[in-house]
Amino acid sequence: MSIFLLKELPRYECLEEAAADIPGADASICEVYMNLLHTGEVIARAEAAFLSRFGLNQARMVLLFILDGSPTGSMRSSEIAEKSSVSRATITGILDTLEKAGLVARASDPNDRRASNVKITPAGEKLLAKVRPEFMRWSAGTVGTLSPQERKQLVELLRKTRQSFEEPSSGSASRNGCHD
């Protein structure tokens, strides 16, 4: 997710000036939108720098977390793609990288010769055991200055904003305690 990142966002007065020339434009909406994009990019860059210390990127870490959370200890790559909302081809590339690093292993599916099961290796488990607490501390630092009430409010506002971009689907995750 790399976008052109302004060092400083435009002052509100500048947005008001620009909006004045456009019928129906609202400078406050533009301000919110620009702040969302800017904050997302700042966080993404900081997270990338953090994860690079462990030889990971966001996609690799998420894939390892998905595998680690599997009740059976292994999953088909198609299941991983479904859980991560990316294509099977993308998952294959990520798995290739993780497999070369010795963090996951693939084995033939005994029930379907065309498919393979992916399992996190002991080295992958060891890396996750190291990354998980560090990541929790790092991510706490990103919003730790907000009060519990502010964090809850932010989550609700972000969820509401995100819903305007999401298409309703029959297979979307339900609110079972682990998903939105």
Cα 28 from Cα 147, distance rounded (Å): 24
User: Tell me: the pLDDT tens digits for 128-138?
Assistant: 999 999 999 99
CA distance 86 to 31: 30
Confidence band of 3 (pLDDT split at 50, 70, 90): low
Q: Has residue 55 got a pLDDT over 90?
A: yes
Condensed to tens digits (0 to 9), the pLDDT of residues 145-164 reads 999 999 999 999 999 999 98
At 171 the pLDDT is 45
Residues of the chain above pLDDT 70, percent = 89
> Which residue type sits at 13?
E
**Helix (H) / strand (E) containing 27:** helix 27-52
Q: Looking at residue 169, what is its pLDDT?
A: 55
DSSP calls for 84-139: HTS-HHHHHHHHHHHHHTTSEEEEEETTEEEEEEEEE-HHHHHHHHHHHHHHHHHH
CATH numbers and ranges of domains, the chain = 9-52 (no CATH), 58-125 (1.10.10.10)
pLDDT tens figures, 72-111: 878 998 889 888 878 888 999 999 999 999 999 998 878 8
